[in-house]
Structure 1
Amino acid sequence: MQKAMDECGVKSLGCMAHTLQLAVHNGVLSQRSISDCVAIGRKIVGHFRHSQLATSRLRIIQQELGMKPKMLQQDVTTRWNSTFYMMKSLLDQKRALGVYGADHELPACFSAYQWGLVENMTTLLTPFEQLTREISSHLATAADVIPSVVALKRLLSKTADTDSGVGTAKSTLLEAVNERFGSAFSEPLYYLATILDPRYKDRYFDTVTKQAAVNMLQKQVDKMTHSDRTTETPDTEEPQEKKIRTSDEGGKSLLDMYDEILEENLIMEQHAGLTSRTSVQVHGYLSEAPIPRNESPLKYWKSNLSRFPALAKAACKYLSAPCTSVDSERLFSAASHIVDEKRNRIQCEKAEMLLFVKKNLPLLMKEA
């Protein structure tokens, strides 16, 4: 996919899901104490996966304890969230596994300290799992990268009661996120996509970066106003990364970070107005409050096309870029169900039409 983008002469961005995978692996799963827990978890899951007798015994124990019979999940080393789901399934079956281990032999078992470590580890990685699901949606765009990273870094900088045993992993994870996503804070495409998303606008930038993003948007709007064809993104000096404010508050979630950042920017805007160098459209657009995160930015621009025609045109360009390759990989997988051994003489045009219908028909049905 990257080669295709390069040959077409189109600017490409990295896959956010893959970057999260690298950050979690380097920050958490590479820690010795956590990797030991993961290895024990794999042995326990493998024991039940390879023994029908052990599986049936565990199912009986689950029924006796009034639990819903459920299989333990096996992880895949290349997908960090599968490891998260495996450890979470072990936590859910902790009582059943304890009863099973008292009567039958297990290849390995967790100590009391390791059970606590597993619980705190899953709590630490829950925001990453939530973010992975959000950015894997077909509606996710490049505009989600900077706000998500800013909110994630702020959450990791706060202390919580569940940091026991994973404090080092948490700080290492924050460093990995800063390192892996550092390039996102110097990429103009991310800034333009973020500020053109009515859910975020310029609320997730600091003072210096906010002004740089507004200037970028103004330059791009001027270019698209005077020319229907833009071949390059605007040049600007590298923006500075937002400083993270630490706090002793605990029990915060990733969603709380989004609201907290918006509230802080609202207070700042009450004391300082927008720069007079912005155009009427940019000034009017940024002066309005962001729409809720559960609303569609594309529907916003469709309904506000007459108010901000130049901005809507720029939004169509920059909000079309996805932030991950997940959806395109799903489409490649769907092609294998259309062209297979029993239907291998189908014409390329018809296969393409079937893929188009599969991808777009659900969208048309939702609108209807």
Structure 2
Amino acid sequence: MWDDVIEKVKNIIYRHEEKELTEGSEFYDVVYAILTDRWTKSSSPLHCLAHSLNPRYYSDTWLSAAPNRIPPHLDIKLSEERNKFLKRYFPSSEARTAVNIEFARFSGQMDIFGCPDSVEERGIMEPRMWWIVRGASATNLQKIALKLLSQPCSSSCCERNWSTYSFIHSIRRNKILPKRAEDLVFVHNNLRLLSRTNEHYK
């Protein structure tokens, strides 16, 4: 999908500059560097596991929408990053083997994951709902999938952090060094978290 985005951006830039795709473009090079940097930040083991556990990306509807799409378990880079996460999350080799067996059954559409309703619903149902309905036979994966696929895309955490920062680094207190301000924000946020264990908070 990311390759498709980059290709579309390239076509638009080259059309605007009235150049052939074989020619060089300084503007495109800058944009490409920004896009790849953004992709690298979002391509962490956690993101790769979340992508691998989304049933939509195994559905025929999604795979047939573009000629170069492949299911996540066939993508080498994605598999490497997913395995890194699983190794970190499940230090015990026995637990990791059990999870890998569950993932093989899920991605290979084996057993209950291969029944016609389960396969058809992969492209229709919202991923979290699909795991609630179809994931009972893979309890380890189901728990992880429900945690990862329930995460809303939101900047509220950043906004909250900036709000705290502006409270600490104000016009009156503008001589604080950035490192000192960061430390104060860190301490303030952690004190708030610790206060939740307090009886008065409850």
Interval of TM-score (by shorter of Structure 1 and Structure 2): 0.3 to 0.5
| The structure with more radius of gyration | 1
Higher relative CO (Cα under 8 Å, sequence separation at least 6) belongs to 1
Q: Given the two structures, how large is their TM-score scaled by the length of structure 1?
A: 0.29
Q: Given the two structures, how large is their TM-score scaled by the length of structure 2?
A: 0.47
